A and B are shown apart, each in its own frame.
Chain A
Amino acid sequence: MAEEQYPARWGMVIDMNVCTGCQACVTACNMENNIPWVGEDDAGYGRTMHWMRIHRTWSGEELEAKPTFQPVMCQQCGRAPCEPVCPVFATVHSLDERINVQVYNRCIGTRYCANNCPYFARNFNWFDYSYQIPAPMNYYLNPNVTVRRRGVMEKCSFCVQRIHEVEDRAKAEGRAIHDGEVQSACAQACPVDAIVYGDLSDPESRVSAAARSQRRFVLLEELGTHPAVTYLKGEGNYGG
């Protein structure tokens, strides 16, 4: 008998104490989610499409400046400011995974959601970037993820395609999902396990235990967005 899985709340904990800023998570995310390359000019102008980016801040005097790294992606807010402002319901709150989903084929490209996101975690397809990939190079694209065309908003989806894959398999096998079975691309790639990904609604999952740590903080807490991503202070980044 398959155990009835109550609505999950997928979340993430990122430990700043061990993050080295190696960008393996960014690369893995790009590969998993068919994120297009925009070219040198557009990248220089600030139009990179990385769903996940490493915020690097410098502290200290010139010769002793030290960077601190903070991976930031869509925080999958519980009270997302991006959701109510879309005029066509292209970004909505999913009731099963309790994350914020972006519906590519409904988006008409008003970009209001991106303006309203306090973390500026959203990216917009300014041109048909993906259509410029010459064959046979386009075989690297992940068939599980839509390739977006111009005029459409996109953002981190917590690898929802992986969630569904595991859910389908679990349902077919008549069992519940084990903790750690679903791994987002970034969590899977991180060499130091700085990213812990799992179901926050399960109090015994690894991610829930990590989220209860004393070092926890969330980005821009004063805005009341209730993000699903928790950061742990450490290594000069005292957060908050």
Chain B
Amino acid sequence: MSEKIVHMALFKEEELEEVGEALDVLRGMGVPEHDISVISGVPFSEKMLGRPMSWTRVPYIAMVGAVIGFLTAAFFNFGTPTLYPIKVGGMAIQTIPTSIVLQFELTMLGLLISTFIGVFVETISPSYGPKGYDARITDGQIGVLFEADADLDPALHKSLTGLGAEMVHGTEAKKLWVL
């Protein structure tokens, strides 16, 4: 098994079509999709580059959080008056109109906090695809990261620089955070 090194081809943000063609070149050379990663400073939809859609579980985590919030509110509204009934204002012990407020608020709180937790957990989890980074990405460049066999190197280099990319060979995964 030949060694796989991570390369990065840097394009300028305006050269979106060249990025598309570069991806075609890579696919033509036999680099599988999961060994290619595109990083950019501005979001580009996967459809623009002909890439498979990414997935995220954040909506499901958000739903779970909303349900937890709803159940907490149900406990506050209907459980606590049963635990310690206190009569006020001639009202019933458990009133539905007043409970709607808390149900809504805590459901939304659960939804939003769990969305954030989902984003946080997914971000710090290990990700697929080649690692690598360059500070020029946030300065308006698009980076195409790919892992390819070492023997494909010269051919790839020639075709990608022909499209106007700046090649960085052997990018290492930089430690961008504590993990």
Chain A contact residues, CB within 8 Å of chain B? 78-86, 89, 91-93, 95, 226
Write 6 A-B pairs (CB below 8 A) sorted by A numbering: A78-B90, A79-B89, A80-B89, A84-B89, A84-B91, A92-B87
Q: In angstroms, how far is the closest chain B Cβ from the Cβ of A119? A: 15
- CA–CA, A68 and B66, complex, Å: 60
- CA–CA, A103 and B90, complex, Å: 18
Q: Is A95 a contact partner of B87 (Cβ separation < 8 A)? A: yes
B90 cross-chain contacts in A, Cβ below 8 A: 78-80, 83, 93, 226
Q: Is A92 a contact partner of B86 (Cβ separation < 8 A)? A: yes
Question: B48 near A: Cβ within 8 Å?
Answer: no
A/B pair count, beta carbons within 8 Å: 28
- CA–CA, A92 and B90, complex, Å: 10
* Among A81, A82, A86, A93, contact of B87 (Cβ-Cβ < 8 Å): A93
Q: Is A89 a contact partner of B88 (Cβ separation < 8 A)? A: yes
* Among A81, A82, A85, A89, contact of B86 (Cβ-Cβ < 8 Å): A89
Dominant secondary structure of chain B at its interface with chain A: loop
A84 cross-chain contacts in B, Cβ below 8 A: 88-89, 91
- CA–CA, A121 and B88, complex, Å: 17
B89 cross-chain contacts in A, Cβ below 8 A: 79-85, 93
- CA–CA, A209 and B87, complex, Å: 29
* Sample of 5 more A-B contacts, CB < 8 Å, known A78-B90, A79-B90, A92-B86: A80-B90, A89-B86, A93-B88, A93-B89, A226-B90
- Specify the chain A residue showing the minimal Cβ separation from B95: A84
- Specify the chain B residue showing the minimal Cβ separation from A80: B89
B 165-176 to A, binary, CB cutoff 8 A, 1 in contact else 0: 000000000000
- Specify the chain B residue showing the minimal Cβ separation from A224: B90
Top 5 A-B pairs, shortest CB-CB distance: A79-B90, A84-B89, A83-B88, A83-B89, A93-B87
Q: In angstroms, how far is the closest chain B Cβ from the Cβ of A38? A: 29
Q: In angstroms, how far is the closest chain A Cβ from the Cβ of B77? A: 14
B86 cross-chain contacts in A, Cβ below 8 A: 89, 92
Q: In angstroms, how far is the closest chain A Cβ from the Cβ of B148? A: 65
- Specify the chain B residue showing the minimal Cβ separation from A225: B90
- CA–CA, A226 and B89, complex, Å: 11
Interface centre among B88, B89, B91 (most CB of A within 10 A): B89
Q: In angstroms, how far is the closest chain B Cβ from the Cβ of A85? A: 8
- CA–CA, A80 and B89, complex, Å: 5
A81 cross-chain contacts in B, Cβ below 8 A: 89
B 59-95 to A, binary, CB cutoff 8 A, 1 in contact else 0: 0000000000000000000000000001111110000
Q: In angstroms, how far is the closest chain A Cβ from the Cβ of B12? A: 59
- Specify the chain B residue showing the minimal Cβ separation from A95: B87
- Specify the chain B residue showing the minimal Cβ separation from A92: B86
- CA–CA, A81 and B90, complex, Å: 9
- CA–CA, A179 and B65, complex, Å: 59
- Specify the chain A residue showing the minimal Cβ separation from B88: A83
- CA–CA, A89 and B89, complex, Å: 11
- CA–CA, A95 and B90, complex, Å: 11
Q: In angstroms, how far is the closest chain A Cβ from the Cβ of B16? A: 56
A80 cross-chain contacts in B, Cβ below 8 A: 88-90
Q: In angstroms, how far is the closest chain A Cβ from the Cβ of B81? A: 10
B87 cross-chain contacts in A, Cβ below 8 A: 92-93, 95
- CA–CA, A78 and B91, complex, Å: 10
- CA–CA, A83 and B93, complex, Å: 13
- CA–CA, A83 and B89, complex, Å: 5
A82 cross-chain contacts in B, Cβ below 8 A: 89
- CA–CA, A80 and B86, complex, Å: 14
